[in-house]
Homo-oligomer: A and B are copies of this chain.
Amino acid sequence: MNISQAAKRAGVPAKTIRYYEDIGLITPARGANGYRDFSDQDLHRLAFLARARRLGFSIEQCRALLELYADRNRASAEVKAVAQTHLAEIDAKLAEMQAMRATLAALVHSCAGDNRPDCPILSDLASGSQTIAAQG
């Protein structure tokens, strides 16, 4: 199967597939003409990758997961550890973004948004919450 077919089936752009091969996540066979020839197994790995990426796993985490997937003797604890690490990363980022959101929403709310120049958003950014002077 050619790359564009594989791309369609796995729901991944052809460019991305080439990139994945480049970094060693997949190794499709090559035809006599040099074209990549994707097997069902290749497709399977691609789909696995696509789903893992959609869940936000990093490329290196995907690599680890693929290795565990291929290892019939893995302990599920190893897989769970990877997933839990990622979950913790997501939670940390969520907390950070929710804090951002809260501040930002308050600022947006406080701004009249008319054609006068007074703007609490700019005021906050300019002197926001912390003093810059007299620290050193």
Chain A residues engaging chain B, CB cutoff 8 angstroms: 5, 8-11, 43-44, 47-48, 51-52, 54-56, 65, 68-69, 72-77, 79-81, 83-84, 86-87, 90-91, 93-94, 97-98, 100-101, 103-105, 107-108, 111-119, 121-122, 124-126, 128-130, 132-133, 135-136
Contact = CB atoms under 8 A, between A and B. Distances in A.
Contacts of A79: 111, 119, 121-122
Number of copies: 2
A83 B89 CA distance: 26
Contacts of A83: 104, 107-108, 111, 121
A76 B116 contact: yes
A126 B90 contact: no
B101 A90 contact: yes
A80 B132 contact: no
Given A8-B136, A77-B113, A80-B112, 5 more contacts: A55-B104, A83-B108, A87-B108, A90-B101, A94-B101
A136 B86 contact: no
A87 to B, nearest CB: 5
Which of A65, A74, A84, A117 counts the most chain B CB atoms within 10 A? Answer: A117
